[in-house]
Amino acid sequence: MASMAGIWSFLFVVSIIGSSFATESEIEDAPSKEFVLTLDSSNFHDTVGKHDFIVVEFYAPWCGHCKKLAPEYEKAASVLSSNDPPVILAKVDANEEKNKGLASEFDISGFPTIKILRNGGKDIQDYKGPRDAEGIVAFLKKQSGPASREIKSVEDATALVDDKKIVVVGVFPEFSGEKFENFKALAEKLRSDYEFGHTLDAKLLPRGESSAVGPTIRLFKPFDELVVDFEDFDVDASEKFVEEASIPVVTLFNKDPDNHAFVIKFFNSPNAKAMLFLNFSSENVDAFKSKYRDVAEQYKGKGISFLMGDVEASQGAFQYFGLKEDQVPLIVIQTSDGQKYLKPNLGPDQISLWVKEYEEGNVLPYKKSEAVPTVNDEPVKIVVADNFQDMVINSGKNVLLEFYAPWCGHCKKLAPILDEVASSFQNDADVVIAKIDATANDIPSDVFDVKGYPTLYFRSASGNLSQYDGDRTKDDMIEFIQKNRDKTAHQDTGKDEL
């Protein structure tokens, strides 16, 4: 099953993570022998325990994204095997029964998931780099070296700090003491997300107060104020500073690849997310930008992050939210619990007032729903967001509900089996077999924990809820329903009226 987090990321940022730096000749000349280690439950911990740095992909054989990644991962492994020191890439079939314990240990909820394991597996980080061979090589070469690089010259600083990425530099009078050790700990903790450097001379740095002697944490960024200093070296405090300072006041979502890393950070933020979508070529785009930035500045640090997206680049967002282009310009706010609030066809001067109304609790949630079917007489009933309460929660019936995605191969395989199960209960008024397209309809995520497709839940007539995780066969599913359904008048002989 693909994770919901993975689906979210896919809709917004698939194919936008850049790749570079490893030379084409390195990749093209890679040998054909297999360099990716195959691990399983029998050798995983022994192998990981022998390495200070190893990268492990958790995959499933049926996963399309895994199949696409496989040749790139192998090419990268062949190049990295010649690195000094070599960087080891490995893989685990997390779909295999004997490896389910490993998948659980590493909280694998979708495929492919790549983990960076350091210090014999004691330190675990998510891989957040590119998915092509060149990008993987470049990213892991940096990850396998020191977390922070010393800046000894203007050339060192120029190589590290540019106008397209976030870089964190520690300025110190000497490379010792608690603050320096805390900075190194910060760099190690956040090295997957940012580049770090340290120096004894602030004059070498391209921006900021050149007379600073430190200890100072200086963050360089390609937006807003360009450079920010911070002097609290508590690891938690400095991590919070870096995370907050690295999100633009307004994140731009367009086709410029330099913006994509910040788009990813925006969607990974725990804040509520305000998203303004409009046509960037429209005449009044400057007025929208100005008014929207004013609102973003007003709410900075108050738990809302702001993004402005070009309609042309935002088709994944429109699909996810169920939006239409004739609603543009429109603003959507999504909270951390999944609630969504929508204002379509707004003007620049309406932005501030609407966000204020949202903050005061005066905006009703928006619900994405397909149309309620006018005819719903097939054995497997169709549920949409707008009839979910009537057909599932308040139906007074025993309901087996499939959450599916139209593109999901396992859902397509289950469909005829579900039809057979539904036909078996067609004359039983107390049992409903139903399905909902979870990509086209909002679902009560606080009740139904859908992490992938297909997911099956059974809700008894009295409201008892259980997830079906048994074999997807007709007989097993019927047996489960009979065991968990509420007893009714139709069952007083101990048999169903079929």
Question: Mind telling me the catalytic residues?
Answer: 63, 66, 408, 411
d(CA 245, CA 224): 10
Q: For residue 107, what are its two tokens?
A: 């909280």
Q: What angle do CA 53, 55, 57 make, to 5 degrees?
A: 165
Q: For residue 154, what are its two tokens?
A: 């203007």
Q: What angle do CA 85, 90, 96 make, to 5 degrees?
A: 165
Task: Give the type of residue at 348.
Answer: P
d(CA 183, CA 216): 10
Query: What DSSP designation does 366 have?
Result: B
Strand arrangement, sheet containing 381-382:
381-382, 431-437, 398-404, 455-459, 465-468
| E strands, 17-72, in order | 37-39, 53-59
Are 114 and 127 in contact by the 8 Å Cβ rule? The answer is yes
Query: What DSSP designation does 236 have?
Result: H
**What are the backbone dihedrals phi and psi of residue 390, each rounded to the nearest 5 degrees, phi first?**
-70, -40
